Amino acid sequence: MHRVGSAGNTAGSSRPRKEKRFTYVLNDADNKKHCAGINCLSYLNASTSGTSDYLFTGSRDGTLKRWEPKNGVASFSATFESHVDWVNDSIIVGQNLVSCSSDTTLKVWNCLSDGVCTRTLRQHSDYVICLAAAEKNSNIVASGGLGGEVFIWDLDSALAPVAKSVDAKEDEAPNGNSGPALTTLCNVNSSSNLASTNGQSHGYSPIAAKGHKDSVYALAMNDTGNLLVSGGTEKVVRVWDARTGSKKMKLRGHTDNIRALLIDPTGRFCLSGSSDSMIRLWDLGQQRCIHSYAVHTDSVWALASTPSFSHVYSGGRDQSVYVTDLQTRESVLLCSNEHPILQLSLQEDMIWVATTDSSVYGWNSEGRTPSNLYQNGGSFLAGNLSFSRARASVEGSAPVPVNKEPSSIIPGVPAIIQHEILNNRRHVLTKDTAGSVKLWEITRGAVIEDFGKVSFEDKKKELFEMVSIPAWFTMDARLGCLSVHLDTPQCFSAEIYAIDLNVPGAQEDLKINLAQETLREGSSGGPWRKRITDLDGTESDIPWWIVDCVEHNRFPKENTKCGFYLHPAEGSPAPNITQGKLSAPRILRIHKVANYVVEKLDRPLDGNADSTFAMGLTSGQPQFSALDSSSRLGLKPWQKLKPSVLLPEMSLATVRAYVWKKPEDLILNYRVVQSR
């Protein structure tokens, strides 16, 4: 369990505190590894960092990680946690790392920190997909996303502290929410400052480059930061003046979505990769396409060029990385991967490849002298038409890759791709990309059994329990791991007997609220790695009701009762012992109801030790569970159970859900019968 998040207004306001959603992430694997596809790569050279080279990876698991590559091995350095959805792109801007996410935010980090988010920038109305920055201007960043919005940010102005009251923050969004449902997520460890991750860009508005009518998938900026190009689902490359956000031109030629863009250092040439499988080279001065390269057999999603812009490395849906000489059109297959390629980062003689897999692969690229790649043959001339490469592939003339194996691998862990909340509302069954099926205990936030590679459906049927517990949490595996969502007050609707949680020394009737137990377990210094009791109740990332529940034992008392009627069975001489509808906890067991009836009758059953007591439901043909009242063996009235519909360990909620199956109030019948 490694991240927590919440939504709603920050604490400390003079206004009434609003309810919040609380989300935490469960992960039984090594937190030093990604557990979902890698969407982006950024590289910080030692000349800039002043220490070492660093590779930054951003993942669909919602985190960024920093790695230190040395001698072909990349060692883990830090995790950057604050986004609450996929990290879609990242870029180095001076000493800052800027990332964007499907949570609609940009976040700014100190590259060399231990994962501290210094500012959250909010302006986009939908997923933020792509970023661009100027090589020689460490102050300008552009962002684009699914809302058709392109914004150009001045980081100095955006990061400048602006004093503003919490009440004013609340006025900026409906319902006191300054963003989407989940607005803050922090790296929870003993040294982190939770409140510091919730900074916002109040008082500053970026430049808006208006013109896109649909989603923006790719951006690129020249070295000086005065020229910006963008592309997306409109199939055109738009060129902007990055200083003002004004339109300069539109370049037409692609027949499908534009997914990747590059600009040469001078700002004269632009490369574009598209879902039409083509790479195009544009002369921005002439405002036209001067070359088309049919290299791939499917969508082109990633581009990287040599510093001189003489060669382009490209990858995409066909799982292949090609190197193409832009002047001679000569191409060679550098390597083949097992997954579609999402982004490339070329660093001298190594190219890092990000794919939909959770691992990152480094391949020998001959980046200093890419012409060496053509010396061993296997190259081909890139055609002008996309079907030429597709036809060559079909005819069996596909090129042989230069590299058979990567020279470096940063391993990830398998992502969870299937999950099922079991009926007891405490256990969750999961299956990952490796086919491993595991059983999780939600109250503990841990895997309690690994079944290995077995049938998920068969195991789900095997673990089925005929119990009925309210749905007190929701869950998804969008990040490749389990995200558990708690909403107050609904999350406090489920209770269970302590003996069912194996609480040592617990009394038979002791009830435990599952949400409260989960919060206590998670905040006890273990899974969440920061004790709730260490907080003072003003932490912006921890909802006030969490602190109230864990530290003060206060939480909303949800209705956990079940109404039912208790009548003698038709034709039974037993008297009616109740008037009107009864109410009891939903988890009350049938044997408790039976004992209640016996006590109310307040007499031996017909004075006969061989009499039995029975109760059941009036639904069609009455069926009864026989409960022996004999005490000859020292058993309680319900402990000698004969085959029946209502088992003594059934709860009222279970009877209602699986036996009664009607919207009307539950009716239980009892009668006295003679044993044979």
- For the cut 70, the answer to whether the pLDDT of residue 200 exceeds it is no
DSSP structural state of residue 651? B
Contacts of 527 (CB under 8 A, 6+ apart): 1, 2, 24, 26, 444, 445, 446, 521
Separation in Å, CA 607 to CA 596, 628, 675: 18, 14, 13
Cross-sheet strand order for the sheet of 561-568: 582-585, 561-568, 666-674, 611-617, 623-628
Average pLDDT of the segment spanning 251-279:
95
pLDDT band at 533, cuts 50/70/90? very low
- Show the beta-strand stretches assigned E in 500-642: 511-513, 561-568, 582-585, 611-617, 623-628
Tell me how crowded residue 291 is: count the other CB atoms within 10 A of its CB. Answer: 17
Question: Mean pLDDT lowest for which of 110-114, 285-289, 623-627, 631-635?
Answer: 631-635
pLDDT band at 135, cuts 50/70/90? confident
Which is it for strands 184-187 and 380-381: parallel, antiparallel or unpaired?
Answer: unpaired
* Residue 670 one-letter amino acid: Y
pLDDT score, position 387: 61
Which is it for strands 561-568 and 666-674: parallel, antiparallel or unpaired?
Answer: parallel
Average pLDDT of the segment spanning 430-441:
95
pLDDT score, position 603: 55
From 270, 173, 288, 286, select the one nearest 230 (Cα to Cα). Answer: 270
pLDDT tens figures, 595-638: 888 888 765 544 444 445 555 544 433 333 434 333 333 334 43
Q: Quote the tokens at residue 344.
A: 């490339």
pLDDT tens figures, 466-521: 899 999 999 999 999 999 999 988 899 998 888 887 778 778 788 889 998 888 87
Q: Is the dihedral of CA 347, 350, 356, 357 positive or negative?
A: negative
- For the cut 50, the answer to whether the pLDDT of residue 538 exceeds it is no
Q: Which domains does the chain have, with CATH numbers?
A: 43-155+204-410 (2.130.10.10), 416-552 (no CATH), 560-602+640-675 (3.10.20.90)
* Residue 540 one-letter amino acid: S
pLDDT score, position 447: 92
pLDDT score, position 18: 46
H or E segment to which residue 601 belongs: helix 590-601
From 590, 615, 589, select the one nearest 601 (Cα to Cα). Answer: 615
- For the cut 50, the answer to whether the pLDDT of residue 539 exceeds it is no
Residue 511: strand pairing partners? 497
User: Greater confidence, 569 or 201?
Assistant: 569
- For the cut 90, the answer to whether the pLDDT of residue 72 exceeds it is no
* Residue 474 one-letter amino acid: T
Which is it for strands 416-421 and 427-432: parallel, antiparallel or unpaired?
Answer: antiparallel
* Residue 605 one-letter amino acid: L
pLDDT band at 170, cuts 50/70/90? very low
- For the cut 80, the answer to whether the pLDDT of residue 176 exceeds it is no
Average pLDDT of the segment spanning 634-646:
44
Q: 């990680």: which residue's tokens?
A: 65
pLDDT score, position 278: 95
H or E segment to which residue 544 belongs: helix 544-552
Return mean pLDDT, the chain: 81
Which is it for strands 482-487 and 474-476: parallel, antiparallel or unpaired?
Answer: antiparallel
pLDDT tens figures, 561-594: 888 998 888 777 788 888 888 988 888 988 888 8
Residues 537, 549 contacting (CB under 8 angstroms): no
- For the cut 90, the answer to whether the pLDDT of residue 394 exceeds it is no
pLDDT score, position 194: 29
- For the cut 50, the answer to whether the pLDDT of residue 101 exceeds it is yes
Average pLDDT of the segment spanning 441-457:
93
From 289, 311, 422, select the one nearest 373 (Cα to Cα). Answer: 311
**Nearest-angstrom CA–CA distance, 195 and 202:** 16
Average pLDDT of the segment spanning 521-541:
49
From 203, 195, 122, select the one nearest 161 (Cα to Cα). Answer: 203
How far apart are the two ends of the chain, measured CA to CA in Å? Answer: 58
pLDDT tens figures, 60-69: 999 999 999 9
pLDDT band at 19, cuts 50/70/90? low
pLDDT band at 231, cuts 50/70/90? very high
From 278, 125, 297, select the one nearest 216 (Cα to Cα). Answer: 125
Residues 296, 318 contacting (CB under 8 angstroms): yes
